[in-house]
């Protein structure tokens, strides 16, 4: 058996690991599990989080831990255990395919300033879409409930620090998109134009 110091699991862990024990889901709805290297027997703690409604939100974290610690860990301890290591791996679609080593806090709930601006924009969009008497006939939404459910899913992701990357946000604010159609049909077209400017500014801050 290879030593853990020289084993390939220290450089490219997923090629060498096999499932050992599912720890379950914690209060943040993240999944924790323990994996073991097939070659050196080293134990690794895996922590996975995503918002299922959005592509590109999945992120995993992976750190080596002693076998005795692995045997007594529960899901609620997993995040803090990784944060206490000198380093751990990260990767997943949230990082656009990138992976690497890092350390410190795993920022599941932290919201960067650019996302705070987007949250403010979508909170205002929700307020407008919830106005009584809105006309949804020319939009892609069936009614107010349908529209608010989509906006709430977006807000849930943004408040979790996840920026949907599937074009959903841009489509909502596009010319003749659903938000503009409802605004024009319901008497708040000028409010939409002002909100669209705020959206463009938030996107520019994010990419700039």
- Report the pLDDT value the prediction gives residue 1, as an integer from 0 to 100: 47
Query: Which pLDDT band, with edges at 50, 70 and 90, does 153 fall under?
Result: confident
Q: Model-level pTM?
A: 0.57
List C-alpha distances in Å: 195 to 87, 146, 188: 42, 20, 11
What pLDDT is stored for residue 5 in this prediction?
Answer: 66
For residue 79, pLDDT beyond 50:
yes
Task: Tell me if 151 sits within 8 A of 126, measured CB to CB.
Answer: yes
CA atoms lying within 13 Å on the CB side of residue 85: 23
Query: Largest Cα–Cα distance of the chain, in whole Å?
Result: 72
Q: Is the pLDDT of residue 110 over 60?
A: no
State mean pLDDT over 122-141: 96
pLDDT tens figures, 172-206: 999 999 999 999 999 999 999 999 999 999 988 76
pLDDT at residue number 57: 80
In this prediction, residue 208 carries a pLDDT of 56
């Amino acid at each position: 058996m290879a030593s853990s110091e020289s084993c390939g699991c220290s450089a490219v862990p997923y090629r060498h690991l096999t499932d050992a024990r599912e720890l379950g889901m914690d209060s943040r709805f993240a999944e924790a599990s323990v994996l073991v290297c097939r070659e050196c027997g080293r134990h690794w703690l895996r922590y996975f989080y995503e918002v299922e409604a959005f592509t590109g939100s999945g992120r995993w974290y992976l750190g080596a831990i002693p076998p005795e610690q692995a045997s007594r860990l529960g899901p609620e301890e997993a995040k803090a255990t990784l944060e206490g290591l000198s380093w751990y791996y990260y990767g997943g679609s949230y990082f656009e395919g990138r992976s690497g080593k890092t350390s410190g806090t795993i920022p599941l709930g932290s919201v960067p300033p650019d996302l705070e601006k987007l949250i403010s924009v979508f909170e205002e969009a929700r307020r407008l879409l919830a106005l009584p008497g809105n006309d949804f006939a020319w939009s892609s939404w069936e009614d107010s409930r349908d529209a608010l459910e989509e906006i709430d899913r977006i807000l849930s992701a943004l408040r979790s620090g996840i920026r949907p990357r599937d074009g959903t946000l841009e489509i909502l604010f596009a010319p003749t998109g659903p938000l503009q159609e409802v605004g024009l049909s319901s008497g708040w077209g000028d409010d939409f134009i002002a909100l669209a400017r705020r959206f463009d500014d938030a996107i520019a801050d994010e990419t700039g």
